[in-house]
Amino acid sequence: MQQLPSPQVLTELLPPVVFELGQLFVDSGFELSLVGGPVRDLFLGRVSPDLDFTTSASPDETLAVVAGWADATWEVGRDFGTIALRKGSHTIEVTTYRADAYDPSSRKPIVAFGDKLEDDLYRRDFTMNAMALRLPSLELVDPYNGSKDLEEREVRTPGAPSMSFSDDPLRMMRAARFASQLGINVADDVRAAMTEMAERIKIISAERVRDELIKLINGVDPRAGIDLLVDTGLAEIVIPEVAALRLEIDEHHRHKDVYQHSLTVLEQSMQLESPADGPVPGPDFVLRFAALMHDIGKPATRKFEPNGAVSFRHHDVVGAKQVKARMRELRFDNDTIKSVARLVELHMRFYGYGDAGWSDSAVRRYVHDAGDLLQRLHRLTRSDVTTRNRKKADRLSFAYDDLEKRIAEISEQEEMAAVRPDLNGQQIMGLLQIKPGPVVGRAYNFLLERRLDNGPIDEDEAARVLREWWSQQPESAEQ
């Protein structure tokens, strides 16, 4: 059985405000318990930064109890029984015992306050989160065997899974998230209910689904969470492009399983994340999600050639468009969308370097096009090698080593990370005696292209090149 630390250890682990608050409620004639994730985390040997409490006191009574003790209180969640407060550096939520009922067409609960801790625990998502510590006594309340399920490393629900997911369909996403975050299994009846009720996830807002997906991708075992979403049919609603990667394998096995390849690329990208002080600190959602989604353009571009080979021409470009559309549906912010889509678009750029080599111009363009995503692109490209052919894998690895070496050498000479034309906009307008407008942009892009092709030149040479270009433009004849 998974063991809770001793009362003495708990007293040392938990911040003093936990016991102060517990004593305040008991002295006022009410029950108070630490509940949910913070209790689960104590079983796992860690202290949660979140402090969630449940109480027999009503919201008004809670406010009366903490008056004069809390530094500040908020009543935003009052209608749902929740009073938030701050004490020193701690933000705390205290919620009245609940016995919720749900409208099947809505995720919002119909709030009904309860009077028993056990009833409050029954309404929680999973047994591992349906444990409480009574305060200040530290008595464990575990009526639904959450500690046993933690020991057996299984996600279970306090009541029937179908009832739990009917009440709150987001819990199905949460089950997959826990599979990823905690590296645990999902009980068979939970999996069956998720499969049967997958369509109900449609009533959940995109923002809430997105947040659970981010936590899943950033977990210690995202493959487990993604497999669960795909196996239960939830992925066909939430990230259908990933479900579609399970291409039908032809009987001659002429092409690899793109779905399993993508999961392997995701896992390999995680291994290349850097420590907190490195260039790509893990967990890095942008890198991981790009790794998962990098080949989603393949189903739409798959073609069986006359010689029996299978091709996926331009799947990188198609995939970039698809990932943008999906992430917009999930209400991701624009910067994250652009970053993931750009990595998907660029993930094939490297291939061919090892056979033909690249000019300095091609290396400059690679760096320029990647911009501040270069370190992530390095990791994505290396992760995309999943071949079992050791010679091929070594050849690609050596080729990318050489490319990174050339990038470092040229960068040292030319400061490639901040490549700009040799003349700025003001200089262009002065030399050509033109006003701001589209022509300035064209001139700027011309100089930038030349800079990428040939490297830096001095200002006099740049002015000469610009005037030569200008003499061939129709606008120059109008002056």
- Strand 132-134 to strand 32-35: parallel, antiparallel, or no bridges (unpaired)? antiparallel
The predicted pLDDT at position 118 comes to: 94
For 7-152, which CATH superfamily applies?
Answer: Beta Polymerase, domain 2 (3.30.460.10)
**Which class for 294: exposed (0-12), middle (13-18), buried (19 or more C-beta within 10 A)?**
buried
Domain ranges of the chain: 7-152, 239-416, 420-478
More confident of the two residues 16 and 471: 16
SS3 for 406-446 is HHHHHHHHHCHHHCCCCCCHHHHHHHHCCCCCHHHHHHHHH
Is 263's pLDDT higher than 90?
yes
Among residues 295, 378, 383, 291, the alpha carbon closest in space to that of 340 is found at 291
Quick one: tokens of 200?
């109900």
CB 296 within 8 A of CB 323: yes
What fold is seen in the domain 239-416? Hypothetical protein af1432 (1.10.3210)
In whole angstroms, give the CA distance from residue 63 to residue 66: 5
pLDDT tens per residue across span 310-365: 888 899 999 999 999 999 999 999 999 999 999 999 999 888 665 566 788 888 88
Min mean pLDDT across 34-38, 53-57, 162-166, 445-449 is at: 445-449
Is 296's pLDDT higher than 60?
yes
More confident of the two residues 408 and 103: 408
The predicted pLDDT at position 223 comes to: 97
More confident of the two residues 259 and 455: 259
Among residues 294, 319, 316, the alpha carbon closest in space to that of 380 is found at 294
In whole angstroms, give the CA distance from residue 422 to residue 336: 31
More confident of the two residues 104 and 129: 129
The predicted pLDDT at position 253 comes to: 45
The predicted pLDDT at position 134 comes to: 97
Is 478's pLDDT higher than 90?
no
How much is the pTM?
Answer: 0.82
In whole angstroms, give the CA distance from residue 104 to residue 79: 20
